[in-house]
Amino acid sequence: MPGSESPGTRDASGPRAFGPPTRTLHERVYRILARGLSSGEFAPEALLSIRMLAAKLGTSAMPVRAALSRLAAARALVPGPNRSFRVPPVTRERLVELASARAALEGRAAELATPRIAAEGIDRLASLNALMREATGKQDQAAYFANNRDFHWTIYQAAGQTLLGEMIEDLWLQNGPIHYFIYADFSIFARSVARHDAVIEALRHRDAALARDAIVFDIVTANDYVVEHLDRLHVEAQRLKGASRRHLREAGEASE
């Protein structure tokens, strides 16, 4: 997120690049692909072509292959034959399992962050939620997801827990394919913004239990809606696939 890092100097797209130019290129490619995955840029079960991704990113195959391998190690991709990689399928069972894990970890992070987050941080959350509300009205999925990511990570960074932050990051990557379906229904966005208002109020009142419950409610409610309407959302997402997705290069530029 702009101007800050999640615990362990990592943002929602992975570690920030330090060191020699080769390392910087590898980290940049990783962040672009991780952000694309966590924002629903890639359809569930899509086969990712190293050659095609390298061409789109204007780089060689080596950093792309390394990035995909890292994502597979985080269980965000499934390795296949001949060094290929595939986006995992989205099933109702998997969605429920991921939501349960996210609720436990992210709820705990919100609880820990409540006494630690500065008043300026809470004001920033209110500003980010206002931007999400504006993006919802404009049906701007890219802006919504970018600000939603910053909203959550402003809270989780304030928890000050490196290991917890890294575990949450991995779950966000694994949960990425769900966003492919969320693109298809803007009512999900509007309800999420309303739930964020409750999170902000809990933090303002320094009520750790209420902040935890509000984050858990946000995660579980959104997930339950997708689980219930998964078949319809799948059809609609396919229809909107071409019009609603940013190009990968644009996603990369936005992450820099």
pLDDT digits (tens, 9 = 90+) for 141-187: 888 988 999 999 999 999 999 999 999 999 999 988 888 777 667 78
What pLDDT score does 147 carry?
93
Domain 92-245 in the same topology as domain 7-86:
no
Residue 253: Cβ-neighbour burial (10 angstroms; 0-12, 13-18, 19+): exposed
User: Is the predicted pLDDT of residue 256 greater than 70, yes or no?
Assistant: no
Query: And the tokens for 105?
Result: 């970890």
CA Rg value for the chain: 18
CB 17 within 8 A of CB 170: no
The whole-chain average pLDDT of the chain stands at 83
pTM score of the predicted model: 0.79
pLDDT tens digits for 17-55?
A: 323 444 588 899 999 999 888 877 888 888 998 999 999
The domain defined by 7-86 folds into: Arc Repressor Mutant, subunit A (1.10.10)
Q: Hey, where are the domains in the chain? A: 7-86, 92-245
Phi, psi (degrees; rounded to nearest 5) at 226: -65, -40
State how far the alpha carbon of 119 is from the alpha carbons of 113, 207, 211, 250, in Å.
12, 14, 15, 33
Q: 197 falls in which pLDDT band (50, 70, 90)?
A: very high
**What is the mean predicted confidence (pLDDT) over 84-95?**
90
The CATH architecture annotation of domain 92-245 reads Up-down Bundle (1.20)
Comparing CA positions, the residue from 156, 67, 147 lying closest to residue 111 is 156
